[in-house]
Amino acid sequence: MTAPTPLRIAVLSFAHTHALSYVHALQAMPGIELIAADPDGATAPDDAPRGADLAAELGVAYVETYEEAFAWQPDAVVIAAENSRHRALVERAAAAGVHVLCEKPLATTVEDAIAMHEACERAGVMLMVAYPVRFAPSVREAVAELRSGRLGKVLGVTGINNGKLPQDRAWFTDPELAGGGALVDHVVHCADILDELLGERAQSVRAVSNRILHAQRELSVETGGLVTIRYPSGVIATIDCSWSWPMSSATWGGVTLQIVAERGTLTVSPFAKGVAGHDAHGETWSPVGADLDALLLDEFVLAVREGRQPQPDAAVGIRTVEIAKAAQASAARGGEVVALT
């Protein structure tokens, strides 16, 4: 078999913990030349390693600045920076003619998300959003089952995306860097799956939120929330997006969707496979099944090689940011319904 043409990929920032699994996935792929840059890591108020120290742990080549990363002339970049820093890096990549995989959410405002999409379209480069959950075999099976028509039309969906408070990275609870709390962090995964399942843009959003969870930390962002989304077809979907898992839990959290259709129901649990137990240190969890981040990177790399737009694209990213921002606006107004124009 002919070896694939080498593809140069730069990972920009270790701010999001997903960057670690992205590096591992890319290192396992044939024909990938990889470097990383994390210039903001040195000043981040985190106990976990960042920057050159983390790069050394991961065994990935490291450069100190984004200027050096782009001077290396990558074919593509994976952006895992803080949410509010996505736009500047995406626009920089577009100006350099470099394809982009951007961590979710695409941006902290709808205006920024649209500007990023337009910058990449003008430059003729691909922009993909990192929504790995849609690549889970259970999600793909559910989409195929519903599209087959066997169960009839979807009538309603209940989604749960709960997890631990992301304390390993302090910026997750910084409203300026993250753009919000649990509503921003966990609404968008379920919103992406709904986008794929229903194939229609949300019509309106209603949400409530609070800071009861982890109240002792006196955080300035919401730690719990419930979101209701109405679609033009009449489907109503609800999402519990709270940081409600105990910090002692052996895994980060999970995603579950219950789908009610005309002639049946489906329960989708993308992270359900695993072996649970206990050891001398407490509860343990060993995942079994597909590596969703690896499947996400497979789609991105293959699309770059084939010269096609990968999915989920920037349009999906914009629609999911619209839902998250509408949820924030609704919660701020005491649960008022916010229409998406």
Category of 313 on φ-ψ map: left (φ > 0), alpha (ψ -120 to 50) or beta? beta
Residue ranges of the chain with per-residue pLDDT less than 70: 1, 273-289
pTM of this structure: 0.93
pLDDT digits (tens, 9 = 90+) for 25-38: 999 999 999 999 99
pLDDT at 80: 98
Distance CA 175, CA 136 (A): 30
* R_g of the chain, CA atoms, integer Å: 20
End-to-end CA gap in the chain: 51
pLDDT for residue 301: 98
pLDDT of residue 274: 53
pLDDT of residue 249: 80
Task: Give all domains of the chain, ordered by start, each with its CATH number.
Answer: 7-131 (3.40.50.720), 134-291+322-339 (3.30.360.10)
Q: Could you report the per-residue pLDDT of 143-177, keeping only the tens digit for each?
A: 999 999 999 999 999 999 999 998 889 999 999 99
Q: Bridge partners of 284?
A: 277
Contact (Cβ atoms closer than 8 angstroms) between residue 317 and residue 105: yes
* Alpha-carbon gap, residue 335 to 301, rounded angstroms: 41
- pLDDT at 289 (0 to 100): 66
Backbone angles phi, psi at 160, to 5 degrees: -130, 120
Rounded-to-integer distance, Cα 326 and Cα 302, Å: 34
- On whether the CB atoms of residues 57 and 49 are closer than 8 A, the answer is yes
